Amino acid sequence: MLLRTALLSSPFIALLLARLWRSPLQPSFPPHPSAAFDGIYTRVLSPHGSLVLIICHVRGASVRPSMVHVSWNPFPPPSSSSSSSSSSSPQRWDVDLFPPPLETILQPLSLDSQQGFTLTAPGVGSLVSEPSKDGGTTTHSLEFELNSKRKKLVLTTSNRVPWTEGVPNGGPEGWIAHLKGLLPLHWLVQSSGSEAKWRVVNASLDDDEKESEGQDREGRVRSGFEGKGIAHIEKNWGTTFPPSWIWLQALSPVSSSFSPSPLPSSAFSFALAGGLLPPPLPSLPFLTLPMEAYLFGLRIPSLNIAWDFRPPFTLRFLGWSPWLKVERFASEGRVRIEAVEGWGRRKVLVESQADPPTFIPLSCPLSTGHSLTSERFALESFSSLTRIQAFTRRWPVVGEWEQVWMGETDRGGLEFGGSWGEDLV
């Protein structure tokens, strides 16, 4: 505990230790039995909306130790649509369940340092991860009540796209991940673009009826009861969630003629998570340091761009950093981030904004258990207009920046959490 306190008080010492303490990365996607909480988040981007699944547990919590979230979040109709078509557009649906503590089965570690697992939520269903040479698969099988009917959802993802090509256990933390339990919180992007397909049926129907259920397939697709798309899969684990944070995630828009392979030349992915560092001692929140830390990365396969931004260059003390500028306007649902890579030759500018009414509350892992959505501890939109620009220059510090790429999507993910979301009403 004293070592963790010292590391959080002196992040540069922690980073130096991480550089010196190097060993092969072990898989981080399986549950961590020693962590106070584990949470796996999956967002599937389809032509018509986002399917979101979250499975999380807080070990030893006295109230709501586990949480399962499932929601369908249709994209707003185009502004040119008539009022009649808007009124008949598919509606959002969501389910939040708080089952007993999750049960975990870990498979043996393979020779190539991969590990499968099964995570079971009693009375709800399971998440099964099966790693393989082609990236592996994940399968969610969940049952829940929706509109007074028992439903069953099966979501399968395949052909995982790891954060770093050729490093199956790598993630946004990079070498910082070697600090393991010495840090209070970790973040992994397990896949930045898996192929996904799902189907929701009435759980009481037999197999023949399931096949014939819902002849209006287009209506089922638009209502989120079946579909295919690109899945962003990530995970958080550690001792405590940060007191305040922001989160952004963006993928290339998926068209109605969606085909996961080959990727279009315009394909890109971006993910960011960051906020105030948690207090060294969760029981003493007044010890929270006035320091922020961020992790993010941009991937553009057609340009061989795989840029990572991580501490120490993404640390901000008292809201300031020579390399990173973060502007938050929660009441407007807007953020602006400008970051320069440590060597001073790469820069990204990210602007994201979503209409405040599109933000929905999500449950979060707290030390005592999961928060209720009515507490609005985390607010997330799946329809943010996100513009990302990438710049390079020949010489550090003195060179002129040249824009090498710009991408945009109106289907980005944007989240405000903790005290940073209090102005979002």
Neighbours of 58 (CB within 10 A): 27
* Residue whose structure tokens are 């002196």: 10
Residues of the chain with pLDDT under 70: 1-24, 79-89, 134, 205-215, 255-265, 280-288
Cis link prior to 78 (omega < 30° from 0)?
no
Residues 6 or more apart in contact with residue 304 via CB below 8 angstroms = none
In single-letter form, the type of residue at position 27 comes to P
The Cα–Cα gap between 214 and 341 comes to: 51
**Closest listed residue to residue 334, CA positions, set 265, 384, 291:** 384
What sign does the CA torsion over 163, 259, 115, 232 have?
Answer: positive
Tens-place pLDDT, residues 8-18: 444 555 555 54
Structure tokens at 28: 């981080």
Full-model pTM: 0.91
**Closest listed residue to residue 268, CA positions, set 193, 168, 335:** 193
By 3-state DSSP, what share of the chain in percent is helix, strand and coil, each rounded to 5?
Answer: 15, 45, 40
pLDDT value at position 30? Answer: 96
**How many domains would you assign to the chain?**
1
DSSP 102: P
In single-letter form, the type of residue at position 102 comes to L
Half-sphere exposure of 102 (CA within 13 A, CB side): 33
pLDDT value at position 22? Answer: 52
Q: Residue 223's domain spans which residues?
A: 2-421
pLDDT value at position 217? Answer: 86
**In b/e form, how buried is each residue of 30-45, taking b as 16+ CB within 10 angstroms?**
bbbeebbbbbbbbbbb
The Cα–Cα gap between 239 and 62 comes to: 16
DSSP, residue by residue, 271-282: EEEEEEPPPSST
pLDDT value at position 387? Answer: 98
pLDDT value at position 85? Answer: 47
Q: Angle between the 11-20 and 2-9 helix axes, to the nearest 10 degrees? A: 110
Neighbours of 194 (CB within 10 A): 24
pLDDT value at position 178? Answer: 86
Burial, 286: exposed, middle or buried (Cβ in 10 Å; 0-12, 13-18, 19+)?
A: exposed
pLDDT value at position 6? Answer: 43
Give the full edge-to-edge strand order of the sheet including 226-238.
93-97, 66-74, 49-58, 37-45, 226-238, 185-202, 149-158, 137-146, 125-130, 117-121, 103-106
pLDDT value at position 5? Answer: 43
pLDDT value at position 195? Answer: 94
Gyration radius (Cα) of the chain, Å: 21
pLDDT value at position 382? Answer: 96
Q: What is the mean pLDDT of the chain?
A: 87
pLDDT value at position 80? Answer: 54
pLDDT value at position 179? Answer: 85
pLDDT value at position 115? Answer: 93
